[in-house]
Amino acid sequence: MAIATDTVEGTTSAQVAAVYSSTNNTAITWATFTNYSGGAATLTLHLVPNGGSPTDENMILDAESITAGDTFGLYSAGEKILLENGDTIQAWSNTASAINAVFSYTSI
């Protein structure tokens, strides 16, 4: 298993950016998003296939509000997100640099 981290930078849907990129085939085994700012921030996530763009069809979380100092866990009950080479998890928040993303993943 390995760990990857990134900060959600974009503040509009036009600024959505990859917070995790799959190299070869990987399984996300655990993901958390922590709001370390002083106020609430929203989080929107997309699972984007290699060469694709974030759309409503690949959105998996829409403007989830995370209070200051709180953490949102994605698929923490044993589920996995399976990604092929070049697939990405892309995110944006209404507050720049407020949310830190941490992923645990393994090659498959």
Q: Give strand pairing partners of 42.
A: 65
Cα–Cα–Cα angle for 74, 78, 81, rounded to 5 degrees:
60
Going by CATH, does the domain composed of 2-107 fall within 3.40.50? Answer: no
The one-digit pLDDT tens for each residue of the chain (108 residues) are 799 988 898 777 778 999 999 999 999 999 999 999 999 999 999 999 999 999 999 999 999 999 999 999 987 667 899 999 999 999 999 998 899 999 999 999
CA atoms within 13 A on the CB side of 38: 0
Q: What is the pTM of this model?
A: 0.91
Positive/negative CA dihedral, 49, 17, 14, 79 = positive
Look up tokens 């060469």; give the residue. 51
- Domain locations in the chain? 2-107
